[in-house]
Structure 1
């Protein structure tokens, strides 16, 4: 990218987040800029040290190919680069196009677990967001969780019925003067 392509470039919230996350993760992996450049080159997406420096400083646009290659090189999901690190799901973070919101909600949206606002129901959101095979996997997993929940409820009900029956038997024996504890 030439300097004329970035002249006057000011990253928005998500661009700033990606730049900060690339730098943070690079440092956590104890990589210097040339080492990250070599990893990117090895993975087929070369970026010069100058490009990486400019990217981390928010002076270079990050395209989707950069995002994916950086995620691979840093050993994280692309979502990890897109959202700021937080300590709690209630921490507010700023995302381009959405604005500030709770980190937990934004992470769930980024992982296609919840819609933000464009869809009226989560089924429409999931159908629009996920490939059919993944949607099917999630639906099966949800059905399995529901079956397990129902089994657990049935077992609890059965145990309560048995306990209630045992309590009734003991009370009945006591009322008849049955057991006095000296058998």
Structure 2
């Protein structure tokens, strides 16, 4: 006779919660007994042994435990649910989303629909264009008003690095928008000499 399994096996989200729980607990210097005491003070009961099983991926966390754990660890439920940037997506989320989209979804900033992702990325493009404009202005101001030595050069180099970072982000945003809507126009920065 085959052994029947009740429910679904633990998935990626369970592994993310386990790793994030351990990291958050160790980050604030709390052992399992202290965490158990904090949870009890918050009105729930999870033994140190059960906490160890959660951290080892052997026990699941229900939503009430998740919110209590986040509170006791001085973090957020989203912080416990978040996948590592190089890790697999949460359970049930297909691989067609990039890590930033998944994290923004977990943070409640976006729904994982094409229309809402287009809205999100258009907003990010607008912010990015604003940063590009700002860094260009700072570079111009530095070059016009300061000598070419010392800390002024260092500041200008930092602004140029930030400008390059924002330009690379704008290129990523444009590419992602084109993936989501091949009929959309590419997002570009306004040409103005820098």
Cα deviations by residue, 1:81-132 (Å, 9 ceiling, x for unpaired): 001244xxxx454211004442211111122222213xx5339x9xxxxxxx
Match of 1:95 among 75, 90, 96: 90
TM-score after normalising by structure 2: 0.53
* Distance across 1 between alignment mates of 2:74 and 2:64: 15
Quote the residue 1:83 is aligned against.
Answer: 82
Could you tell me how far 1:77 is from its partner in structure 2? 1.1
Q: 1:99 to 1:84 in 2, by over 3 A?
A: same
C-alpha contact 2:39 2:46 (8 A) present in aligned 1 = yes
Quote the residue 2:116 is aligned against.
Answer: 122
Task: Give the gaps of 5 or more residues in structure 1.
Answer: 1-5, 126-141, 150-183
TM-score after normalising by structure 1: 0.56
Structure with the higher strand share, 1 or 2: 1
Structure with larger Rg: 1
C-alpha contact 2:38 2:72 (8 A) present in aligned 1 = yes
Quote the residue 2:148 is aligned against.
Answer: none
* Distance across 2 between alignment mates of 1:99 and 1:18: 19
- Provide the aligned C-alpha RMSD in A: 3.1
Quote the residue 1:107 is aligned against.
Answer: 103
Aligned residues: 120
Quote the residue 2:38 is aligned against.
Answer: 39
